[in-house]
């Protein structure tokens, strides 16, 4: 392996608009699930290179902390450890990752890291992997190997990119239906999207485990949430960018979702949501599994100042559309 070769991948984060939670196996293996999601212009970056023999440790992984170990099995970063083992990458190896937003904030960051790392490691080995392969391998690492009680939407969103209907089949298969919407209409939609950071990080797996255990009780709601994703897909595919309709749909979906498990929302989150709606938001949701992360609202431009004022103590994160999935952005040689 050429010690000067440096691999960098850029993998987008995502926002699931409707259908989130129907990608859990307890539901989709029975009824089939569907999520309509879009990737956004916020990213996870992963760097991989051969680690120099000048350093004392054969394996270094830098993220929110730095791990310097002798063997891959000694790594605490479970995704890094299992991706390296899965692809048979031997020391010496250096991995570094940084994201545009903190981890555990409801934008699919952990799965974006898994997809981006697998993409980088394949390139490091001189291999090319398709989006479908990256998504399935990330699902295998997170769900099968690590036993995380999570769904499959994040991995597929990160690998494929764009605005997609993700359908989860009872046999475990996943189909990706990409929506090709004119750029002007996409900009109109994103100009009506406001996102606010609640300041609270949470363990998605813990929230989803509670929801998973309540699948039988929530079956009717989950079926309606899945159908919302299909309905919105049909409407958008017909060229209908109805901002008010999308806002109302998100509001109905959020009101159903927050009943799926007690850990999905909190009185503080509900207070922020109600304040935004009273100030003129058409609808919204908490991104990700729940319990914290980012609040997303659909708000006509003329009402956005009032909503910002109502949520004045929250940090706003501007976002736009990203049409690409995980990409190799820096394979180059020094000198």
Q: What angle (nearest 5°) sits at the alpha carbon of residue 290, between those of residues 268 and 25?
A: 160
Query: Phi then psi for 27, rounded to 5 degrees?
Result: -95, -55
Report the pLDDT value the prediction gives residue 334, as an integer from 0 to 100. Answer: 43
CB burial class (10 A; 0-12, 13-18, 19+) of residue 295?
buried
Q: What tokens does 18 get?
A: 């409707």
Report the pLDDT value the prediction gives residue 333, as an integer from 0 to 100. Answer: 44
Mean pLDDT per segment of 10 residues, for the chain of length 335 residues? 78 95 93 96 97 88 95 97 97 96 89 98 96 98 94 97 97 95 88 92 66 82 94 85 91 88 84 97 87 91 97 93 94 50
What SS3 class is residue 315?
strand
Ordered structural domains, the chain, with CATH:
6-179+322-328 (3.30.230.10), 183-316 (3.30.70.890)
The pTM of the whole model exceeds 0.75:
yes
**Which residue, among 185, 285, 171, 166, has the nearest Cα to 229 in the 3D structure?**
166
Report the pLDDT value the prediction gives residue 335, as an integer from 0 to 100. Answer: 40
């Amino acid at each position: 392996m050429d010690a000067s070769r440096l691999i960098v991948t850029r993998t987008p984060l995502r926002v699931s608009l409707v259908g989130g939670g129907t990608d859990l196996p307890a539901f989709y293996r029975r009824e089939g699930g569907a999520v309509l999601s879009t990737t956004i212009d916020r990213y996870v970056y992963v760097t991989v290179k051969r680690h120099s023999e000048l350093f004392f440790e054969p394996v270094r992984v830098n993220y929110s902390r730095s791990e310097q170990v002798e063997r891959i099995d000694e790594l605490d970063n479970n995704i890094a450890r299992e991706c390296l083992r899965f692809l048979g990458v031997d020391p010496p190896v250096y991995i570094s990752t940084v994201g545009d937003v903190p981890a555990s904030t409801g934008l699919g960051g952990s799965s974006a890291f898994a997809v981006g790392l697998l993409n980088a490691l394949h390139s490091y080995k001189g291999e090319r992997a398709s989006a479908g392969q990256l998504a399935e391998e990330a699902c295998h690492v997170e769900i099968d190997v690590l036993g995380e009680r999570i769904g499959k939407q994040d991995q597929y969103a990160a690998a494929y990119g764009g605005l997609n209907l993700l359908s989860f089949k009872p046999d475990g298969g996943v189909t990706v239906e990409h929506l090709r919407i004119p750029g002007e209409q996409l900009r109109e939609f994103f100009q009506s999207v406001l996102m606010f950071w609640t300041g609270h990080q949470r363990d998605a797996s813990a929230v989803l485990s509670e929801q998973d255990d309540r699948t039988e009780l929530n079956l009717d709601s989950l079926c309606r949430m899945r159908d919302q994703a299909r309905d919105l897909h049909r409407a958008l595919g017909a060229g209908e960018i109805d901002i008010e309709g999308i806002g109302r749909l998100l509001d109905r979906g959020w009101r159903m979702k927050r009943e799926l498990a007690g850990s999905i929302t909190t009185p503080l989150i509900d207070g922020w949501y109600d304040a935004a709606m009273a100030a003129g938001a058409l609808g919204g949701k908490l991104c990700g599994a729940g319990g914290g992360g980012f609040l997303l609202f659909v708000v006509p431009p003329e009402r956005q100042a009032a909503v910002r004022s109502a949520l004045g103590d929250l940090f706003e994160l501007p976002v736009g559309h990203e049409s690409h999935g995980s990409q190799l952005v820096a394979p180059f040689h020094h000198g």
